[in-house]
Amino acid sequence: MIKMVRIDERLIHGQVALIWSKQLGIDRIIVVNNKAANDPILSSTLKMAAPDSVKVIILDEDKAKVLLRDPRIGNLKILVVVNSPKDALFVAENAEDIGKVNVGNYGKADKDGEQRVKLNDNVFLGEQDKEALRKIIKLGVTTEYQLVPDQPITDMSTVI
């Protein structure tokens, strides 16, 4: 079961690897990112950042589409990590059951030249980002901002 999809530009790092993994009680982290899947150095770095008790799988979208539809993942406790709302939408459209989408750190790095608006100190959203999040919400998936588990939750549908 996919307990959470986390949008975080940094993919796997301290907050994801230690805090969220423990909070969610996961045994797998699946990174869905074409760049990471095709970069052996980045893949190795991401795997090293995860706790020893958690298996990390790094997939491009084609392979992720197959895995996300495999009924055997229902027996696992999975955190899916992506680095954009567009990628989170891909997961939401291709997975059977998602606990929620969590927006963490996103939008500080200018990747595509799109104008972004500051939501808070950690999230900056452009119109394409907002549209992807709206589509996720329309699919019935709880979508919220929460940097770490002990901070308050902001329902994204109220701020986009």
From the candidates 1, 9, 10, 13, give the one annotated as an active-site residue: 13
d(CA 104, CA 102): 6
* 109 contact partners, CB below 8 Å, separation of at least 6: 9
CB atoms within 10 A of CB 77: 17
Concerning whether 13 is annotated as a catalytic residue, the answer is: yes
> Which residues are part of the catalytic machinery?
13
